[in-house]
Amino acid sequence: MRPIERYVEAMENKDFTALGELFTKNGHLCDYCPNGTAQHEYHLYGKEAIAMFFRNKFSFRQYSILEAAIANDTQAEFIASFGGFHVMAIATVQKVSEDGLIERMTVRPK
């Protein structure tokens, strides 16, 4: 599976451990979609932080993705739900390490 597919799978399964493992030690996930909600955007650095952060979000049902579709080799579109506030989003794997881990991923409103 390509990294973008594994990302969608982890998100759909709310598997924060698998999600963290997709990223490198210093992997960067930035999600600008929360700017359209009452929250700040997310900037997470490192696989451990990503796993901890989404453990919290999934446990408290503050983040989920719906209607996901792989757009191409590096992008997926989905509806991001921030505790019930929906934003159409596009996630892009910007950079991948030699061993196939995500070094940088952005999620933006579509």
| 48 part of the interface to another protein, by CB under 8 A | yes
- Does residue 17 belong to the site contacting another protein (CB under 8 A)? no
Stretch that binds another protein, among 1-9, 56-64, 71-79, 90-98 (CB under 8 A): 56-64
Number of residues located near another protein, criterion CB under 8 A:
15
The CA distance from 106 to 90, in Å, is: 8
Beta strands in 3-97 (DSSP E): 23-31, 42-45, 64-70, 75-82, 85-96
Using CB under 8 A as the binding rule, whether residue 59 contacts another protein is answered as: yes
**In the complex, minimum distance from the CB of residue 17 to another protein, in angstroms, rounded to a whole number:** 11
Q: Are 55 and 29 in contact (CB under 8 A)?
A: no
Binding string, residues 60-99; x marks residues near another protein by CB under 8 A:
x---------------------------------------
* ∠ CA 82-85-88, rounded to 5°: 85
Question: How many alpha carbons fall within 13 Å on the CB side of residue 80?
Answer: 25
Q: Which residues of this chain interact with another protein, rule CB under 8 A? A: 38-44, 48-49, 52-53, 55-56, 59-60
